[in-house]
């Protein structure tokens, strides 16, 4: 059998830049590059590689290869994966179940099983359902089953373990039947089936195009199988991220230490049936490693030495060279009293980098709360930082506005929730935002302070408004924009899709600062939704 084409780009090198240069070199021609396929672990990796390709072109037009993330697909991404795999692979598979639908179905099941001595209420059931769904995805990723997990539990167990067995029993006995009744598959299960079908197809009919798998550690069983197939393709290449090929005799211990950073790579090499010394240098020549970087790599190799081999630390210098002091150059350890102080220190360091000519800086952290605090600290100095992880909709101004609108509708326009929504900077109701807020202030003084209106909702506001001017404001600037979402909320059986669509429509109408009748091509007597959409999105 031909040795698999497996490469590594060493840690400390610009992975995306070197990968882009290497793929162009392997392709050889623009036409072959455009027909190529690069499989990546995540959408962020695909975006980084796309940017690296464009940078390498120096402004010249370029047809990029297809960049497909195969590691972080959700329900909304399944169409792209299906398009990559083709109808032959997915035609007879049931569609995927949405994450929210799965959570609701699992929550319904959980409501009928006592946990901890009582039946969970709806919020508890939804929370447990979310966690149970994550467990299910982990089982799919590991190519394991709930039955195998049950077999690991002790035969004699406390009430705590009994609850765990109850949850696993739901996955074993009830969940497959529900999926079959609805004619759907779990998203991760369906993705794994599609990947395995593509792997089998490529075994039988190898593609005549360049195929590269890059940046993946093969932590998902189905992905690991596909990587093994790509490594054997006539023009298939696997590029590993930062494989430590200097670990030497540590590899047997690394492959048994699940907490080691190189553990997943060790498992992948075992699956590919190759050793670290068979992994090749990437096709793009690496620059000479500076002494400080070589020393830093040696230091980190010792830091992550498996616990079973840590006695080697006592013999440093006897079995090899001592770690050079330059390994610590520029490295600082700062102990913060709390997360707020930690964020402040990081923000100050970033500001210092900005004020230093030709210096760049980046923050790498898995802690999203810390990242948000750093962003907030930088905003004090009007510094906007790019967050490669994106921002959750709920923490954006638009997201907060949507939340306030949903809360107001759910509470039947109660004074506190209604005022919170109306006082948001996006609320305008078809007039200038300043004029709208003046009317809101009058409505607050006349109607919303003191005793709550006797009649809930819009009718209560209209009945309590003391003047014709305020009644007109409530009707035109509040009732008309809220009509879509109020109608959807009042429906006998509202669906999530209808509520989301109505919420977006009402938000756009409420955010508009002009009336549709003022637009040249419209005579509608309501806020201009298009102008509101421009403000929101």
- Assign residue 330 a region: left if phi > 0, alpha if psi is -120 to 50, beta otherwise? left
Tens of pLDDT, residues 496-523: 888 999 999 999 999 998 765 555 444 4
> How many angstroms separate the CA atoms of 23 and 211, rounded?
9
pLDDT band at 91 (very low <50, low <70, confident <90, very high): low
> How many angstroms separate the CA atoms of 191 and 188, rounded?
5
Question: Reduced to 3 states, what is the DSSP secondary structure of residue 32?
Answer: helix
The confidence score (pLDDT) of residue 520 equals: 46
Percent of the chain with pLDDT over 70: 91
Kindly report the CATH number that applies to the domain delimited by 6-88+190-281: 3.40.50
The confidence score (pLDDT) of residue 451 equals: 74
Percent of the chain with pLDDT over 90: 50
> How many angstroms separate the CA atoms of 213 and 86, rounded?
19
Question: Reduced to 3 states, what is the DSSP secondary structure of residue 455?
Answer: coil
Beta-carbon neighbour count of residue 249 at 10 Å? 8
φ and ψ at residue 236, rounded to 5 degrees = -105, 140
- Assign residue 39 a region: left if phi > 0, alpha if psi is -120 to 50, beta otherwise? beta
Listed residue (280, 254, 277, 279) closest to 267, CA to CA: 254
Contact 415, 452 (CB under 8 A): yes
> How many angstroms separate the CA atoms of 396 and 482, rounded?
21
pLDDT band at 240 (very low <50, low <70, confident <90, very high): very high
Q: Which residues contact 335 (CB under 8 A, 6 or more apart)?
A: none
The confidence score (pLDDT) of residue 525 equals: 64
Contact 511, 532 (CB under 8 A): yes
Contact 521, 512 (CB under 8 A): no
Residue 282 has pLDDT above 80, yes or no: yes
Residue 321 has pLDDT above 80, yes or no: no
Mean of pLDDT values over 240-266: 90
Tens of pLDDT, residues 92-137: 789 899 888 999 999 988 888 777 778 888 888 899 889 889 988 9
Q: Which residues contact 170 (CB under 8 A, 6 or more apart)?
A: 106, 109, 110, 113, 132
Residue 320 has pLDDT above 70, yes or no: no
Mean of pLDDT values over 161-187: 82
Tens of pLDDT, residues 451-485: 777 788 899 999 988 999 999 999 999 999 999 99
> pTM for the whole thing?
0.75
- Name the β-bridge partners of 68: 39
Domain ranges of the chain: 6-88+190-281, 99-184, 291-328, 339-391, 395-536
Lowest model confidence (mean pLDDT) among 282-286, 343-347, 419-423: 282-286
């Amino acid at each position: 059998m031909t040795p698999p084409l497996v490469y590594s780009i060493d840690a400390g090198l610009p992975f995306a830049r070197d990968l882009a240069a290497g793929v162009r070199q392997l392709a050889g021609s623009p036409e072959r590059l455009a027909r190529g396929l690069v499989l990546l672990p995540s959408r962020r990796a695909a975006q980084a590689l796309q940017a690296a390709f464009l940078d390498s072109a120096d402004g010249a037009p370029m047809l990029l290869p297809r960049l497909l993330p195969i590691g972080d697909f959700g329900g909304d991404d399944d169409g792209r994966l299906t398009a990559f795999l083709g109808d032959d692979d997915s035609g007879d598979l049931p569609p995927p179940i949405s994450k929210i639908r799965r959570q609701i179905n699992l929550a319904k099941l959980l409501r009928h099983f006592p946990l901890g001595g009582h039946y969970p209420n709806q919020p508890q059931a939804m929370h447990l359902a979310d966690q149970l769904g994550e467990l299910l995805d982990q089982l799919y990723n590991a190519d394991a089953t709930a039955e195998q997990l049950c077999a690991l539990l002790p035969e004699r167990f406390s009430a705590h373990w009994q609850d765990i067995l109850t949850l696993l029993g739901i996955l074993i006995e009830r969940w497959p039947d529900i999926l079959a009744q609805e004619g759907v598959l779990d998203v991760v299960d369906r993705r794994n089936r599609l990947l395995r079908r593509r792997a089998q197809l490529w075994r039988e009919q190898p593609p005549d195009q360049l195929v590269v798998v890059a940046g993946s550690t093969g932590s998902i069983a189905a992905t690991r199988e596909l990587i093994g197939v790509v490594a054997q393709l006539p023009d298939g290449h696997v590029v590993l991220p930062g494989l430590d090929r200097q670990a030497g005799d540590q590899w047997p211990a690394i492959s048994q230490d699940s907490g080691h950073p190189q553990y997943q790579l060790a498992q992948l090499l075992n699956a590919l049936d190759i050793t670290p010394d068979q992994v090749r240098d990437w096709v793009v020549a690496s620059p000479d490693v500076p002494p400080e970087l070589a020393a830093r790599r040696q230091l980190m190799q010792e830091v992550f030495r498996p616990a079973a081999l840590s006695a080697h630390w006592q013999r440093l210098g006897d079995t090899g060279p001592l770690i050079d002091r330059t390994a610590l150059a520029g490295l600082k350890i700062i102990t913060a009293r709390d997360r707020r102080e930690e964020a402040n220190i990081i923000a100050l360091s970033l500001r210092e980098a900005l004020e230093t000519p030709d210096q760049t800086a980046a923050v790498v952290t898995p802690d999203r709360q810390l990242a948000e605090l750093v962003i907030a600290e930088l905003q004090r100095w009007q510094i906007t930082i790019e967050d490669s992880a994106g921002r959750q909709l709920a923490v954006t101004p638009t997201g907060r506005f949507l939340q306030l609108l949903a809360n107001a509708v759910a509470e039947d326009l109660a004074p506190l929730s209604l005022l919170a929504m109306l006082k948001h900077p996006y609320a305008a109701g078809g007039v200038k935002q300043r004029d709208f807020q003046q009317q809101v202030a009058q409505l607050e003084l006349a109607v919303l302070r003191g005793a709550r209106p006797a009649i809930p909702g819009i009718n209560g506001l209209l009945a309590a408004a003391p003047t014709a001017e305020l009644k007109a404001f409530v009707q035109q600037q509040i009732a008309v924009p809220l009509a879509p979402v109020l109608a959807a909320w009042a429906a006998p059986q509202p669906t999530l899709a209808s509520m989301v669509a109505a919420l977006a429509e009402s938000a756009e109408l409420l955010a508009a600062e002009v009336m549709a009748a003022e637009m040249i091509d419209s005579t509608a007597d309501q806020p201009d939704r298009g102008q509101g959409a421009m403000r929101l999105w």
